[in-house]
Amino acid sequence: MADLVDPVQRAFLGVEKSALDNRWVARLDQAGQNRALAMSQIHGLPDLIARVLAGRGVTVDEAIEFLDPTIRGLMPDPHTLTDCEKAATRLVSAIERGENVAIFGDYDVDGAASSALMFRFLSHFGVKANIYIPDRVFEGYGPNPTAINQLIDNGAQLIVTVDCGSTSHEALAAAAARNIDVVVIDHHQVTHELPPCHALVNPNREDDLSGQGHLCAAGVVFMVLVATLRLLRVAGNKRILAIDLLQWLDIVALATVCDVVPLKGLNRAYVVKGLVAARHQSNAGLAALFRKAGLAGPVTPYHFGFLVGPRINAGGRIGDAALGSRLLTLDDAGEAEVIAQRLDELNRERQAMEAIMLQEAEVEALAEYGDGEGASVIVTAHEKWHPGIVGLIAARLKEKFKRPAFAIAFDPSGRGTGSGRSINGFDMGRMVRAAVDEGILVKGGGHAMAAGLTVERDNLGRLRTFFTEKAARTVANLVANETLKIDGAIGASGATIELIDRLEAAGPYGSGHSQPLFAVPAHRLRDARLVGEKHVKVTLEAMDGSRLDGIAFRAADTALGSFLLNSRGASLHVAGSLGADHYQGARRVQLRVCDAAPAK
């Protein structure tokens, strides 16, 4: 289907200002339209699918391979990662000597998955491995000297840090002082000065030319294990005959989705093949969490990101940080059920705490910044907030105010632990590091879309001013030019299960490979009603009588929700993504509504 309007000169369907104040534009420019047309003609792809691929930078020559990504086809030689061969060689040495290995991970999903992946690999070869996950509140992120010395005192002969360690100079120096090797496998941004360690495998270090900087930590760990397996094969280790790394891709896929890294290149293969592995539910821990979450239908990235991930994270946020990694290492279904139950309970506690904190944060943000339009960065803080939940609060504030946002929890001593979430186009990590360089923050770091910081109460005002001035011009431009990119228009009768299956083959969707958005033009809003506590369910009807059901999640208290509930019977343009709702064993088409506007 060709664009209904000129994608440069005019708004899509004439929507200059939607219910959410967005200007709708066609995703494809003329060159993109030509690329989509060529895909359809050369490869026989449906027009909408070709448009989706072209709109995400896929070329005509790449299209067929893109629809069937493989690990073999997309994984480069692991040795292109700086220090990967050195790390693999040290792991082989640990296996051959039967050394005790301590795995030091982070407390989020990526850290849990990376730790479990390394644990499963080493355990297969008879290595005694122990996982250590620091307490988020009392120890903070990454290795610390006390924990490192404790691991060595307990018999660790090799320490492997995963999803952390790249900037842990003091902690790794403590290991070096005791002649214990440390292998760091990470993906976070690295400073110019590298920490003292045996090997630092991080595709984001300055001297790494692998081009794999988009991987999460579990993805990097998997590459290191591929390299280690090669060396073990050369050494004639007989246990390699009984190992299949692909069986653990469900763990890698979970981390890749939950860490919100770009779903391109190797990451795409990790998720596509990892979903296949997850659907077998051979990992007892994942299977137990799927049951707790009431999984309906085959596993999708949504289930990883919104059902499983929050439960694993709940342990690190408000409970025992080691529960998630422990769960992912288990083969015993009974033990997995017990831990999954505990994580489910912690997640419910976390949800209750988050609701209270969010209400307080919104009140403070409105008092400090008004409607937020004059602010470039939202910074909220409170003495009674739980530091494990501030990242979730920052994400909600970012969604509400459409600005980069921080939430900071201060302890009784006046030291605050904060977390931030950014909007597309603004590098939050760089801004935080600049605040560290200025002496405003005790410490801080992160990446473009998320960051963490530690600040003294006396510097909060100075921090707000610094962030506001640093971000003012960039954020103002991003907000002023905010648009909703539409992949194409589709009627109710064209929204079929067959189309959804083809769209899923062009996925998975997420960071760097956005969910396709379609406009349903000039359909009558036959019904709109609240479901649950926060969702708005709608039924759209075309002129030919065909209907399409949709739902606007968490929209009840938003401008979109109010617009829909007050527009029953009106003709609307509605934008959203297409998906399949699994109910009582049946698949039904559902539009996940993200915006709407009157049809003029």
Mean pLDDT score, 92-120:
97
Is the domain of 108 the same as that of 215? Answer: yes
Instruction: Evaluate if residue 2 carries a pLDDT over 60.
Output: no
Between CA 569 and CA 236 the distance in angstroms is 73
Is the domain of 307 the same as that of 393? Answer: no
- pLDDT, residue 371, reads 67
Q: Which residue among 440, 459, 480 closes a domain?
A: 480
Pair 590, 577: CB distance under 8 Å: no
Is the domain of 49 the same as that of 120? Answer: no
Mean pLDDT score, 207-232:
97
Kindly state whether residue 432 falls inside one of the protein's structural domains: yes
Q: Print the SS3 string covering 187-239.
A: CCCCCCCCCCCCEEECCCCCCCCCCCCCCCHHHHHHHHHHHHHHHHHHHCCHH
Mean pLDDT score, 107-116:
96
Kindly state whether residue 310 falls inside one of the protein's structural domains: yes
- pLDDT, residue 392, reads 94
- pLDDT, residue 368, reads 84
Kindly state whether residue 353 falls inside one of the protein's structural domains: no
- Torsion, Cα of 227, 231, 236, 241 (10° steps): 0
- pLDDT, residue 584, reads 67
- pLDDT, residue 210, reads 97
Mean pLDDT score, 427-454:
91
Is the domain of 469 the same as that of 555? Answer: no
| Count of beta carbons in the 10 Å neighbourhood of residue 362 | 17
Q: What is the CATH number of the domain that holds 592?
A: 2.40.50.460
Between CA 327 and CA 345 the distance in angstroms is 15
Kindly state whether residue 260 falls inside one of the protein's structural domains: yes
Q: Which residue among 480, 504, 539 closes a domain?
A: 480
Kindly state whether residue 18 falls inside one of the protein's structural domains: yes
Q: How confident is the model at residue 442 (pLDDT cuts 50, 70, 90)?
A: very high
- pLDDT, residue 360, reads 97
pTM confidence score? 0.89
Higher-confidence position of 369 and 40: 40
Percent of the chain having pLDDT more than 90?
84
Per-residue tokens: 51: 């448009």
Per-residue tokens: 65: 């391979």
Is the domain of 315 the same as that of 168? Answer: yes
Kindly state whether residue 1 falls inside one of the protein's structural domains: no
Between CA 216 and CA 22 the distance in angstroms is 32
Q: How confident is the model at residue 4 (pLDDT cuts 50, 70, 90)?
A: very low
Is the domain of 116 the same as that of 170? Answer: yes
Q: What residues have CB less than 8 Å from 89, skipping those under 6 apart?
A: 231
Between CA 45 and CA 186 the distance in angstroms is 39
Instruction: Evaluate if residue 123 carries a pLDDT over 70.
Output: yes
Domain count, the chain: 3
Is the domain of 416 the same as that of 521? Answer: no
Between CA 467 and CA 61 the distance in angstroms is 44
Q: How confident is the model at residue 31 (pLDDT cuts 50, 70, 90)?
A: very high
Show the domain range for 530.
12-55+487-598
Between CA 584 and CA 296 the distance in angstroms is 9
Is the domain of 327 the same as that of 258? Answer: yes
- pLDDT, residue 289, reads 97
Higher-confidence position of 533 and 317: 317
Kindly state whether residue 354 falls inside one of the protein's structural domains: no
Beta strands in 106-167 (DSSP E): 128-132, 158-162
Is the domain of 516 the same as that of 559? Answer: yes
Kindly state whether residue 270 falls inside one of the protein's structural domains: yes
Is the domain of 23 the same as that of 142? Answer: no
Mean pLDDT score, 74-88:
97
Q: What is the CATH number of the domain that holds 378?
A: 3.10.310.30
Is the domain of 491 the same as that of 524? Answer: yes
Is the domain of 263 the same as that of 206? Answer: yes
- pLDDT, residue 563, reads 98
Q: Which residue among 480, 508, 523 closes a domain?
A: 480
